[in-house]
C-alpha cells in the first residue's frame, strides 16, 4: 500500500524535524535560532496539513486562506502600531 | 436509503464534502482563538525578552520533547485510521482510533507530571498558589508562567474534547453505517491534526525560542 508508505515517511519526517528543532536550540545562532525554530514549525504544519489532513480542493483551501488573511491583519495591525 | 446522515444531501460523497468544508471553517475560527493568544505572547516576548528567556529555561525540555513526539505519533495513528476507513477495514480502524485516544491520554499524563513539577517548584501563579521564583525580573517571569499555563491548558482542553469525541464515536460504532463511520473519522481526524499543529507551534515558542 503506497498510501501507508507515504504516511510513514511523513511521520518519520516529522520526528526528524522535531530532532532538528530541539538540536538547533543547543547551538547558539544568535537571532537566527528563533527564525529557524519557527520555520521548522511551519514546515511541520505544512507536512501535517498536506499529508494527514489532505488539504486539497477549493473550499478547504478557501477556508485556510480566509483564516490566514485574518491572522495577517491581526498580527500586522498590532505590530505596525508599535 | 442513500447512506447519508442528513436528508439535505443526495449522496454520501456530497455530504462528506460539506462536512470537510465545515470542519475547515471551524478550524479557521479556532485558529483565530489561538492566534490571538500567540499574539499576546509575541508582544510580551518583544517587551520582556530577557525575563521570558530566563523563565522559559525552567520548563522541562525533555518532557516537552517527549510530548511533542507522542502527539505527532497520535496524528500518525489518526491518519492511519482515515486510510483504513477509506478501505473499509473497520476493525483495524477502531484499533487506530483507540491508539490515537490512548496517545492523547499519554500526552495529558505527561503534561500533568510537568504541571505537578512546576507547582512543586512554586512556578504556577494560579489558583492562589505561591509563586516563588528566584531568577531575575520575577514580575514578568510570573507573566510568562501565566501565559504558559493559559496556553497549555487551553490546548489540553481541546485534546480532552478530541478524546471524548473519539470515545463517543467508538461507542456509537456498531449502529452507524459505513458512510457515517467514514464521515466521522474524517471530521474528528481534521480536528485532531489541527490540535497537533497548535502544539507544533506552542512547543518551540514556549520551550525553545529562549535558549
What is the tens place of the pLDDT at every residue in B57-87?
A: 899 999 999 999 999 999 999 999 999 999 9
Residue B7 resides in a domain: no
ipTM above 0.90, yes or no: yes
* B27 contacts chain A (CB < 8 A): yes
Q: Is there a domain that residue B158 lies in?
A: yes
Q: CA nearest B118: which of B52, B59, B56, B203?
A: B59
> Residue B4 falls within a domain, yes or no?
no
Domain containing B193 — which CATH number?
1.20.120.80
Instruction: Examine residue B186 and state whether it is found in any structural domain, yes or no.
Output: yes
Reduced to 3 DSSP states, what percent helix, strand and coil does chain A have, rounded to the nearest 5? 80, 0, 20
Q: String of b and e for B35-59 (b: at least 16 CB within 10 Å)?
A: bebbeebeebbeebeebbbbbbebb
Task: Report if pTM > 0.90.
Answer: yes
Q: Do A15 and B208 touch (CB under 8 A)?
A: no
Which of A41, A57, A71 is the closest to B204 by Cβ?
A41
In this prediction, residue B125 carries a pLDDT of 85
- Closest Cα to residue B210, out of B44, B32, B68, B33? B44
Grid coordinates standing for A54? 489532505
What residues make up the domain containing B109? 12-208
A59:B76 CB<8 A: no
The reply to whether B2 falls in a domain is no
Say if B18 falls within a structural domain: yes
Query: Structural domain tally of chain B?
Result: 1
Residue B75, domain member (yes or no):
yes
Give the tens place of pLDDT for each residue, B108-164: 999 999 999 999 988 888 887 888 888 788 889 999 999 999 999 999 999 999 999
Given this model, what pLDDT does residue B107 score?
97
Amino acid at each position: 500500500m503506497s498510501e501507508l508508505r507515504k504516511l510513514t515517511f511523513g511521520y518519520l519526517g516529522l520526528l526528524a524535524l522535531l530532532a532538528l528543532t530541539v538540536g538547533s536550540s543547543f547551538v547558539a545562532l544568535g537571532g537566527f535560532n528563533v527564525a529557524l525554530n519557527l520555520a521548522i514549525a511551519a514546515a511541520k504544519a505544512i507536512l501535517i496539513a498536506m499529508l494527514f489532513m489532505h488539504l486539497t480542493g477549493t473550499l478547504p483551501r478557501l477556508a485556510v486562506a480566509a483564516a490566514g488573511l485574518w491572522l495577517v491583519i491581526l498580527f500586522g495591525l498590532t505590530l505596525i502600531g508599535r | 436509503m442513500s447512506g447519508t446522515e442528513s436528508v439535505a444531501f443526495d449522496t454520501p460523497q456530497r455530504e462528506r464534502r460539506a462536512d470537510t468544508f465545515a470542519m475547515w471553517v471551524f478550524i479557521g475560527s479556532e485558529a483565530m482563538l489561538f492566534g490571538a493568544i500567540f499574539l499576546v505572547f509575541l508582544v510580551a516576548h518583544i517587551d520582556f525578552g530577557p525575563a521570558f528567556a530566563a523563565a522559559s529555561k525552567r520548563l522541562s525540555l525533555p518532557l516537552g520533547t517527549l510530548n511533542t513526539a507522542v502527539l505527532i505519533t497520535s496524528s500518525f495513528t489518526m491518519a492511519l485510521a482515515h486510510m483504513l476507513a477509506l478501505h473499509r477495514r473497520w476493525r483495524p480502524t477502531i484499533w487506530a482510533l483507540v491508539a490515537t485516544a490512548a496517545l492523547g491520554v499519554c500526552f495529558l499524563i505527561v503534561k500533568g507530571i510537568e504541571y505537578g513539577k512546576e507547582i512543586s517548584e512554586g512556578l504556577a501563579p494560579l489558583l492562589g498558589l505561591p509563586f516563588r521564583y528566584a531568577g531575575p525580573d520575577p514580575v514578568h517571569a510570573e507573566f510568562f508562567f501565566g501565559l504558559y499555563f493559559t496556553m497549555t491548558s487551553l490546548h489540553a482542553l481541546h485534546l480532552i474534547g478530541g478524546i471524548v469525541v473519539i470515545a463517543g464515536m467508538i461507542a456509537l460504532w456498531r449502529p452507524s453505517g459505513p458512510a457515517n463511520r467514514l464521515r466521522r473519522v474524517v471530521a474528528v481526524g481534521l480536528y485532531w491534526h489541527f490540535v497537533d499543529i497548535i502544539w507544533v507551534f506552542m512547543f518551540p515558542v514556549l520551550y525553545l525560542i529562549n535558549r
